[in-house]
Amino acid sequence: MKYTNGINTTFPGETKQAILELLLEGSKTSGEIADKLQIQKSAVRIHLDSMQAQKVVKSYFKIVPLGRPRKIYELTESGRELFPRRYDLILSLIVKKIEEIGGREQLRKIIRSIADDIAADIGERIEKNNGSDNFENSLKMLNSVSIEMGFASSVSKEDNETYSLVSRNCILHKIALNNQDAICHGLHDRIIQKTLGGKVNADVELKECIALGNNYSRHIITHKG
């Protein structure tokens, strides 16, 4: 991944990048952006419309004392995510500090507790939308939340009782490299197990793992009835 002036250059177009950088400084009108970039306002609006469609920019109208309401543009959270954020560095330092203060077992305990909270939230969504008695619906909802979290996951049926949940992205990859047991098992495995552990009885086994050098992580989930 490359960055120009701090922004992810996988977002196409130099003008769009310049607009994003301006909006990172604060909300602006299309006219203010056009003046800053010294280009036509109509061209700026075309870019902004495209960026709104991609949900990296949003707009609203602001009432002013004199004249018509002004249309203001600002970055969405997705737009801000195009700029580098060192989550991995901060989280690694937090994990290291917890381990220094409380030891390895305290770290595992905290991570398991976080996994339980996440699983409880997913379980509530399953109960609200489908009910937890239907195993396949529960698994689909789990996969949907997994995608929202950034795991780029997919679920498929292996046989009558067995399913495969494949995650092609590890959202905590750099931390997992040095804490595979705590993160991959204590967090990821446990989220799946606890989510499906209400009215549904299931075994969860991690077969492949990105932190161990595989191209993806694959959980085999067996419905025990």
pTM of this prediction exceeds 0.75 = no
Residues 6+ apart with CB under 8 A from 38: none
Segments making up each domain of the chain, as ranges = 3-80, 87-223
Q: pLDDT tens-digit profile of 186-212? A: 999 999 989 887 545 678 899 999 999
Q: pLDDT tens-digit profile of 80-89? A: 888 877 778 8
Q: How far apart are CA 106 and CA 95, in angstroms?
A: 10
Q: pLDDT tens-digit profile of 129-175? A: 766 567 888 889 999 999 999 899 999 998 888 999 999 999 888 88
pLDDT at 9 over 60: no
Q: For residue 81, what pLDDT is reported?
A: 83
End-to-end CA distance of the chain: 45
Does domain 87-223 fall into CATH 2.102.10.10? no
What's the chain look like in SS3?
CCEECCEECCCCCHHHHHHHHHHHHCCECHHHHHHHHCCCHHHHHHHHHHHHHCCCEEEEEECCCCCCCEEEEEECHHHHCCCCCCHHHHHHHHHHHHHHHHHHHHHHHHHHHHHHHHHHHHHHHHHHHCCCCCHHHHHHHHHHHHHHHCCCEEEEECCCCEEEEEECCCCCHHHHHHCHHHHHHHHHHHHHHHHCCCCCCEEEEEEECHHHCCCCEEEEEEECC
pLDDT category of residue 2 using cuts at 50, 70 and 90: very low
CATH node for 3-80:
1.10.10.10
Residues 6+ apart with CB under 8 A from 109: none
